[in-house]
Amino acid sequence: MTTTVGVLALQGDVREHVAALTAVGARGVPVRRTSELDAVDALVLPGGESTTIDKLLRAFDLFGPVQQRLRDGMPAYGSCAGMILLADRVLDGTADQQTLGGLDVTVRRNAFGRQVDSFETDLSIEGIEGEPVHAVFIRAPWVEQVGPAARVLGRVEGGHAAGRIVAVRQGPLLVTSFHPEVTGDTRVHRLFVEMVRGDR
What domains can be seen in the chain, in order of their start residue? 4-196 (3.40.50.880)
Query: Lowest-pLDDT range, 14-28, 38-52, 97-111, 163-177?
Result: 97-111
What local confidence, expressed as pLDDT, does residue 158 receive? 79
Kindly tell me if the per-residue pLDDT of 24 is higher than 90. Answer: yes
Highest-scoring range by mean pLDDT, 111-120, 131-140, 187-196:
187-196
Binning pLDDT at 50, 70 and 90, where does residue 193 land?
very high
Q: Is the pLDDT of residue 94 over 80?
A: no
Concerning whether 120 is annotated as a catalytic residue, the answer is no
Choose the catalytic residue: 17, 80, 157, 194. 80
Based on the residue annotation, tell me whether 80 is a catalytic residue of this protein. yes
**Structure confidence at residue 199 as a pLDDT band (50, 70, 90):** confident
Contact 97, 57 (CB under 8 A): no
Candidates 16, 17, 181, 189; catalytic one? 181
pLDDT score for 69: 97
Query: What integer pLDDT is reported at residue 116 of this predicted model?
Result: 45
Catalytic residue status for 181: yes
Q: Which of the following is catalytic: 16, 179, 189, 194? A: 179
What is the percent of the chain with per-residue pLDDT over 90, rounded to a whole number? 74
Per-residue pLDDT, 48:
85
- N-terminal to C-terminal alpha carbon distance within the chain: 17
